[in-house]
Structure 1
Amino acid sequence: TLKFPEEVPLSDAAKDVIVRLLHPTPHLRLGCLKEGVEGLKRHPFFEGIDFVALARREVPTPYLPDTASDNGLVNFSKDDGDEYDSSDSEEDISIPVEPGCWFANF
């Protein structure tokens, strides 16, 4: 059973769509049933979404970041990225370069 943290406010529709998308049996997952993606789009969580306008990119952006700054850092809190050590350099990172090695055991 999937448990949702109480401190994260989620509607019943949001919880239901998450549970149904994560169903352990693929052919019983929302979107994989007889009605396919149309069943997913009809779920109450997506009520009010105009999927035709969305596909045409006619839906307004729900959030526009502040881009007044040249470096864009105004969109991050001072604490974001504290785990990054600026003394690290690209030369310190070892990445294998043999062709196909990244997906060898995939």
Structure 2
Amino acid sequence: QVVQHDPCRGGAGYWNSLFRFKHLATGHYLAAEVDPDFEEECLEFQPPADPDQDASRSRLRNAQEKMVYSLVSVPEGNDISSIFELDPTTLRGGDSLVPRYG
């Protein structure tokens, strides 16, 4: 669903347009929410007085590797967390185009 001022109006989507992804069978929307485990760990983290402390650096590195957001289903499409923007990308070495059939 392309996000418009009038929610009943459809239309073509373009790169950098705003989209909502709706599950047709349930009517729910895809949304992104902050992972509560990640949020708690960030609040617990205190910057060390000595920047050379390996244990603190290791903990920070591990926190950065965790997923900050998770995808969830929400019943309402007017939630800001259900709006996504698709950015264009470029092909890399191992990538290939999706074949068209028909």
More helix by share: 1
More strand by share: 2
Bin for the TM-score computed over the shorter chain: under 0.3
| Larger-gyration structure (1/2) | 1
